[in-house]
């Protein structure tokens, strides 16, 4: 059983799907590991470090043709996997809703593909959850990016020359990224408030020392929502939330939006009129910009100024912390493989009826098999 690790080719993708730490662990299971030359460069991992961990460092053709399991961060183009073994398995973040044609091409090529972002939100799969590990870093980085663009200090400072008021930070969407954004802004000394459509998040917000801003007169989503995610809200709720946010957002210095709905465009949370109500010099960070954006006027891959407010729309935020993001992602992949490893066969045994396997498997045997991708 050979596990291959590809060098990422997507624009601005600096992460890598394995580290020397996980290479050693995979070899400890009984696998051999081949790493494409230069795969770790963006995360400051040298080819020599992979070699010292026991991997063979070689070119892409050799990695693809010799591997039974192929690890990547973002799903590569199917043509880049030409020459793969019959029935080889690709494990990566595959983004099928953004590029269905690529998934169909995997199926046509006879590849089995496992989409790590489809990992079920169940206790057994927590250590395999790539969205949580990467979102944690994105939430942290969003606050650091905002602080860099904001021309003032975050904490209240009392000096002989007078007092500097604390920055006011408003987090919209309290999933993993939002919770980390709250915690980071609090550590920097800001006055933090947050909102979400899921009732269960109110206690989480308050536990981090932030103020919960919730619609009280219209029912939202009870509990944690579907799989820990929000779903589309009623028009009545949207109107009530817009009114609440409009009155609150005008008083904020920094707004961070994180709201995503799996398989659908990101919901619009901040309008042009609300941006215009903010003070010049304020900052908005839209972490959902690649999925259509929570903020009107946000541009993927750019920082723009609208009504004197800077709107930051960085793409692939976890990759901007490539070393840590790679370490966490690589551990997610190892934990996934380890959970299904057959010690006698020295290979993973992915039972077709397993909840995790059914959740992540997109293609097998020349067909697209995932129920969410049914034509």
Check pLDDT > 60 for residue 362.
yes
Distance CA 291, CA 202 (A): 25
Task: Specify the pLDDT at position 232.
Answer: 57
Decide: residue 235, CB within 10 A, 0-12 exposed, 13-18 middle, 19+ buried.
exposed
Check pLDDT > 90 for residue 37.
yes
Distance CA 149, CA 283 (A): 7
Listed ranges 92-96, 221-225, 228-232; the one with the highest mean pLDDT: 92-96
Task: Specify the pLDDT at position 219.
Answer: 61
What is the secondary structure of 216-260 as a DSSP string?
Answer: -SS--B-TT-BTTB--PPPHHHHHHHHHHHHHHHTT-SEEEE---
Distance CA 62, CA 128 (A): 28
Please give the mean pLDDT across all residues of the chain: 93
Show which residues are catalytic.
Answer: 121, 126, 129, 132, 229
pLDDT (average), residues 140-165 = 96
Task: Specify the pLDDT at position 221.
Answer: 53
User: What pLDDT, in 10s, does the model give residues 228-261?
Assistant: 555 556 677 777 777 888 889 999 999 999 999 8
- Neighbouring CB atoms inside 10 A of 201's CB total 25
What is the secondary structure of 111-127 as a DSSP string?
Answer: -EEEEGGG---SGGGGG
Task: Specify the pLDDT at position 358.
Answer: 96
- Domains in the chain with CATH codes: 2-129+321-368 (3.40.50.720), 136-320 (3.40.50.720)
What is the percent of the chain where pLDDT is above 70? 95
The pair of three-digit structure tokens given for residue 99, joined into one six-digit string? 């590029």
Q: Are 78 and 105 in contact (CB under 8 A)?
A: yes
Q: Strand, helix or coil at 359?
A: helix
Helix or strand (DSSP H, E) at 159: strand 157-159
Distance CA 205, CA 209 (A): 7
| Confidence (pTM) | 0.92
Task: Specify the pLDDT at position 234.
Answer: 66
Check pLDDT > 50 for residue 146.
yes
Give the range among 156-170, 193-207, 233-247, 307-321 with minimum mean pLDDT: 233-247
- pLDDT confidence bin for 223, thresholds 50/70/90: very low
């Amino acid at each position: 059983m050979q596990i291959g690790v590809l060098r990422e080719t997507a624009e601005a993708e600096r992460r890598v799907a394995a580290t020397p730490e996980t290479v050693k662990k995979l070899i400890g299971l009984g696998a051999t590991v081949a790493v494409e030359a230069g795969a770790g460069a963006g995360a400051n991992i040298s080819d020599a470090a992979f070699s010292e961990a026991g991997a063979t460092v070689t070119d892409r053709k050799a990695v693809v043709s010799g591997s039974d399991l192929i690890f990547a961060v973002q799903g590569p183009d199917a043509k880049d996997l030409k020459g793969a073994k019959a029935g080889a398995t690709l494990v990566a973040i595959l983004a099928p809703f953004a590029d269905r044609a690529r998934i169909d091409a995997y199926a046509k090529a006879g590849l089995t593909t496992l989409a790590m972002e489809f990992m079920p939100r169940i206790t057994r799969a927590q250590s395999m959850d790539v969205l949580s590990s990467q979102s944690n870093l994105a939430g942290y980085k969003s606050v650091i990016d905002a602080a860099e663009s904001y021309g003032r200090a975050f904490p209240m400072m009392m000096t002989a020359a007078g007092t500097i008021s604390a920055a006011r930070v408003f987090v919209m969407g309290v999933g993993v990224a939002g919770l980390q954004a709250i915690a980071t802004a609090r550590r920097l000394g800001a006055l933090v408030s947050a909102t979400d459509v899921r009732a269960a998040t109110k206690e989480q917000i308050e536990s981090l020392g932030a103020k919960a801003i919730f619609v009280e007169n219209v029912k939202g989503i009870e509990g944690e929502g579907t799989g820990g995610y929000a779903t589309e809200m009623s028009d009545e709720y949207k109107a009530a939330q817009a009114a609440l946010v409009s009155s609150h957002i005008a008083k904020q210095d920094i707004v961070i939006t994180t709201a995503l709905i799996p398989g659908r465009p990101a919901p619009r949370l901040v309008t042009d009129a609300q941006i215009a109500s903010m003070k010049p010099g304020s900052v908005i960070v839209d972490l959902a910009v690649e999925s259509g954006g929570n903020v009107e006027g946000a541009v993927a891959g750019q920082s723009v100024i609208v009504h004197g407010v800077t709107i930051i729309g960085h793409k692939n935020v976890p990759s901007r912390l490539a070393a840590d993001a790679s370490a966490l992602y690589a551990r997610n992949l190892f934990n996934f493989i380890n959970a299904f490893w057959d010690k006698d066969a020295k290979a993973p045994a992915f039972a077709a009826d397993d909840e995790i396997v059914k959740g992540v498997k997109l293609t097998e045997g020349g067909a697209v098999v995932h129920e969410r991708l049914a034509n």
